[in-house]
Chains A and B, each alone.
Chain A
Amino acid sequence: MVELRSTGKPRAAVRTWTSFMTDFSIIGKPIAMVDAAEKTTGAGKYTDDLSLPGMLIGKILHSPHPHARIKRIDTSRAQKLNDVIAVVVGADAPNPYGILPVGHDEHALAIDKVRYIGDNLACVVAVSEATAEAALELVEVEYEILPAYFDPEESMKAESNLIHDNKPHNLEKDYHHTFGDPDKGFAQSDYVTESRYLANEVTHAAMEPHSTLASFDIDSQTGQAGRLTVWSSTQVPYYLQHKLSLVLDMPMSQIRVIKPLVGGGFGGKSEVIPLEIIAAVAARKAKAPVKITYTREEVFWAHRGRPRTIIDLKTGVKNDGRITAVKARVVQDGGAYCSYGVVTILYSGALLGALYDIPNIHYDGYRVLTNKPACGAMRGHGTVNVRFAFESQLDEIAGRLQIDPAEIRRRNLLKPPCITVNGLRVQSYGLPECIDKIVERSGWKSRKGKMPKSRGLGIACSHYVSGAANSIIRSDMPHSTVNIKIDRDGGVVVYTGASEIGQGSDTMTAQVAAETLGCALSRIKIVAADTDLTPIDIGSYSSRVTFMAGNATMRAAQEVKKQIASAAAKKMNCAPEDLVFRDDSVFKQSTDHVGAGLRPAQEEQNSASVSGRVEGQILRGSLQQKRKDEGPKDSMSFEEAVVATIDFHGALTGTGSYAPPLEARGGKHKGGGVGPSPAYSYSAQVAEVSVDEDTGEVTVHKVWAAHDCGRALNPVSVEGQIIGSVWMGMGQALTEEMVWKDGLLMNPGLLEYRSPSSVESPEIEPIIVESIDPEGPFGAKECSEGSLAATIPAIANAIYDAVGIRLRESPFTPERVLAALRAKKNAKTLDMTEGVDPTAPVRLREHGGALWFKGKGPERHELDPARRTEGG
């Protein structure tokens, strides 16, 4: 850690409100999301709610084999079925693509090989869904079955029958990083501990299944198919536009991507999902609009969730609890394609830093290919499983050294502003306050160690980026750009590429614009996520929207505000700097607040003032306006000021953009581009659990979750994001797990993939900590991901506190808890965990998952290493 104090205070953000203004009129107050009514009335349209005249339905044929060469694919019988319009196969779109420039290993439809059960083979386009489904049965495929790999550690030994020919040993990517001097660090330590941790696979399971509607226009000049319009449930319209351009060989300018309402993403819609490409290819071939909507089972196959992860973690500490060195070896079971994998494995190492002060770090990361659906980005991308291991181990160390687990965390705090040993710049740092708050609220000091039998408290911390400082398509171009147009009607239209996916992106944009302009929220109209209308924004992932699109919105608003100020200043006979924009008015700073045309505070703040209307006329000529205005005034309504500005300047538009500053973009080492962020959020949590020692069932009673979000722009949304993150973390900790049998997902449904219901969901007390980041918009940072990671170890540590078992394999299902409890009591072991001890797991289970499925799996090749030696 390099402290930055000597270089002076962190650069102050550009602020527009004048210094005497201590409070805000729009931000910081809980408001309903701007699209809430659309959602509660059912009027809002998601992609699958859309239809076009002549629209056809596409259905996809998926591979039943985990690894096979396609010897022959015959679609002729399917094509002959009545009402089938087209059948699309891999040869119709042979260009490869992938979300990362280094990972272009996918095709719209399989060309020569299928690589997982569920891989995409063909798409039937028909008049109705039923016809398309019937036609799928008629597609004939002949396979040559190949040996398949399901265990990443086994897969890494592969010499032949590789999943991708250009990836020896099925190794997608490995990184080996050393920061500081780890050997010296361990030598200096008084106590070293080392353990293996396993985290099983989870998926987003957003409520809205993926859906895409694609349609080609006919070009007036050529008379041929021209521009493509795609409506899709995506978190990043720009990436979809980019990949469509690659696969379809069309210029990006000929492709328009529109994001309707999106029913949840959590990372699962942050990359291009096969159906998004297939729908466009199918529309081209069928010469008609095509819509494809996944079934829930297909959503599970599309996956891109959090990979099964093996973490070998070693930590050295001094007797006072100060960490001297950390060594981590991480193996991720990445599935059959690269997806975001290279980024995921880098995050796992990079975000060992920036939470605590760790002077020496060694990291070995392996992203391994297996014949399973591809893993990708999921809430807390890359950081969650490693954080589970780290915070569990820190708890163990605290116990060993007899230091309070909250105290050991305090002893390892960073001293910001600083740069961590692995090159991450930390400025605002609310972690100490987060720890203080949860210790206080949970009654930690008085209750810890004095809980009733089988009940316990556990603490853990986590953090996350407020947007990646480096875009996956590396460039120095802005990450977000926002345009604002204000016309003589007094309406403010904000054009942003930021993607509302339920997290409140549009509401944040409206709030930041209204606060900056000092106008009523009701004036703001948001036009978002339409690549024809809105400037490029790299979308909703890595928790970047508030920080980056928020800053761009603020800058665009400042630009128009400057123009309004110069015109209003002339009207008011003062300098532009003397003007205050607030409460839908513009007034002189010196003017008495209430007497200056400001409406009483109790009046509805969200409604636009109508004082600009002149004698009932809504649109009035500027001459008439001038006649009305005799002599300088002390205040104007926002609308009057706008009209005056258009009088002076003509059109009133502004643009703002945001690119992370160079000093926040990280170290120069290979892979150093992942992990850096302009700001980090911080979280500390206490979980209270009880364990039923007869059944092994864990009940979470309450979680206290403090989260440093910089400044809470909309507290109700911030709390909702904290609660949602903690809740999703609890799902991964206790019940959610993808269960595999030889590459076949055994629980591809919302009943079997056990997302907690309302009766299983504990009380979660969100505690907002505001560290006011110097570069965030109004000081804001992220609040949607950082809290997730702490929940899993907080629960693990609480289970240890309750019953004395240290679970090192997640999720902590009843069979694992019971196996550990029985082992502790030296009772007869129950063979429920395939012989894997959840307190000291040495390997991933053969089939993975809590349910040891004993049935017969899919047909195996005799060379298949996964094939069982004895009859199933």
Chain B
Amino acid sequence: MKKQLIELRVNGRPRELAVEPSKLLLETLRQDLQLTGSKRGCDDSSCGACTVLIDGVPMLSCTLLAASCEGQEITTVEGVSEHGALAAIQKAYGDWGGAQCGFCTPGFMMTVKHLLATTANPSEAEIREALSSNLCRCTGYSQMYQAIKAAIEAEQKGMDSLSQQVAK
């Protein structure tokens, strides 16, 4: 199949690529852009390990064509950490045991990032509902809830200290 030239915006940067029209976004990220953080865990969009944000909405990159994502803002797990440091949710996942083998973790990072961006103080039921799009075989999810709650707390503390600084 003949390749076509496309331009993707990935993690805030423009990337020009030649890909087959049939090429999946997941493969384009992993093979053409070497962004191997997004994982392939299944073949039938059932595991969520390939989740990326498309214009802020979690989508499975294994069922999207790369060429169909032109003009949209794609965020992968490589775009989650901030200024060379772990984002609150990344730190909390480490501290609370939210990641064991880590293979599903990039997908969870994207799902949780969206949850925290759209729901200010999610209840446990809301967290469970959100996480049900992603599978994990190691953790039984429990420590992820603790991590998410800790991240929300840390974010809020950060916000508070920021607003205090502004007030000064």
Contacts and interface: CB of A to CB of B under 8 A. Distances in A.
B158 interface: no
Nearest to A503: B100
B128 A750 contact: no
Given A41-B90, A296-B41, A206 B143 contact: no
Contacts of B143: 716, 719-720, 723
A602 interface: no
B103 A41 contact: no
Given A45-B36, A266-B137, A723-B139, A39 B46 contact: no
Contacts of A206: 101, 103, 137
Contact of B39 (A36, A46, A750): A46
A625 B44 CA distance: 64
B14 interface: no
B140 A750 contact: no
A541 to B, nearest CB: 15
B84 to A, nearest CB: 10
B71 interface: no
Interface string A326-340: 000000000000000
A243 to B, nearest CB: 23
A402 B35 CA distance: 62
B10 interface: no
B43 A42 contact: no
Contacts of B35: 42
Nearest to B101: A502
Dominant SS among interface residues on chain A:
loop
A263 interface: yes
B103 A42 contact: no
A750 B94 contact: no
Interface string B100-130: 1111111001000000000000000001110
B2 to A, nearest CB: 14
Given A45-B36, A209-B41, A261 B102 contact: yes
Contacts of B101: 39, 206-208, 261-265, 501-502
A32 B94 contact: yes
Nearest to B97: A720
B1 to A, nearest CB: 9
A204 B96 CA distance: 24
Interface string B27-47: 000110001111111111011
A680 B153 CA distance: 39
Interface stretch (B53-61, B73-81, B159-167): B73-81
Interface size of A as a range: 35 or more
B137 A296 contact: no
Contact of A43 (B37, B97, B131, B134): B37
Contact of A207 (B41, B93, B94, B131): B41
A763 B143 CA distance: 10
Nearest to A726: B140
A750 B89 CA distance: 26
A207 B139 contact: no
B18 interface: no
A40 interface: yes
B141 A761 contact: yes
Interface in A603-623: none
A728 B137 contact: yes
B130 to A, nearest CB: 8
Contact of B94 (A37, A266, A757): A37
Nearest to A504: B100
A632 interface: no
A759 B137 contact: no
A563 interface: no
A36 B135 contact: no
Contacts of A43: 37, 78
B46 A751 contact: yes
Given A207-B101, A502-B101, A757 B132 contact: yes
A39 B108 CA distance: 11
A748 to B, nearest CB: 10
A266 B140 CA distance: 14
Contacts of B141: 727, 758, 761
Contacts of A716: 95-97, 143
A35 interface: yes
A207 B99 contact: no
Nearest to B35: A42
Contacts of A726: 140
Given A297-B43, A759-B128, A39 B99 contact: yes
A204 B30 CA distance: 25
Contact of A263 (B39, B44, B144): B39
B29 to A, nearest CB: 10
Interface string A201-220: 00011111100000000000
Nearest to B145: A758
B30 A49 contact: yes
Contacts of B42: 296, 749-750
Contact of A749 (B37, B44, B81, B94): B44
Given A40-B105, A41-B37, A502 B94 contact: no
A7 B90 CA distance: 52
A460 B37 CA distance: 40
Interface in A1-60: 30, 32-33, 35-46, 48-49, 51
Most chain B C-beta atoms within 10 Å of own C-beta, residue among A39, A265, A297, A751? A39
B135 A757 contact: yes
A724 B38 contact: no
A264 B102 CA distance: 8
A297 to B, nearest CB: 7
A716 B100 CA distance: 11
A49 B142 CA distance: 28
Contacts of A502: 100-103, 138
Given A36-B99, A263-B103, A724-B139, A42 B132 contact: no
A413 interface: no
B19 to A, nearest CB: 13
A716 B98 CA distance: 10
Given A207-B41, A296-B44, A42 B36 contact: yes
A750 B105 contact: no
B8 interface: no
B30 to A, nearest CB: 7
Contacts of B138: 207, 264, 502, 720, 724
Between B90, B100, B132, B140, the greatest number of chain A beta carbons within 10 A of the residue's beta carbon is seen for B140
B43 A207 contact: no
A178 interface: no
Contact of A723 (B31, B44, B142): B142
Contact of B99 (A40, A48, A208): A40
Contacts of A758: 127-129, 131-132, 134, 141, 144
A157 B4 CA distance: 61
A483 B89 CA distance: 35
Contacts of A262: 101
Contact of B103 (A30, A208, A295, A755): A208
Nearest to B41: A207
A717 interface: yes
12 contacts: A33-B94, A36-B95, A37-B86, A40-B89, A41-B37, A42-B106, A295-B43, A296-B44, A297-B43, A504-B100, A750-B42, A755-B135
Given A41-B81, A43-B37, A207-B136, 18 more contacts: A33-B94, A39-B99, A40-B93, A40-B94, A40-B109, A42-B76, A42-B105, A46-B103, A205-B137, A207-B41, A208-B103, A209-B40, A263-B102, A264-B103, A716-B95, A726-B140, A749-B43, A758-B131
A-B pairs, 9 with minimum CB distance: A42-B37, A502-B101, A39-B102, A263-B103, A727-B140, A36-B94, A42-B77, A32-B94, A49-B36
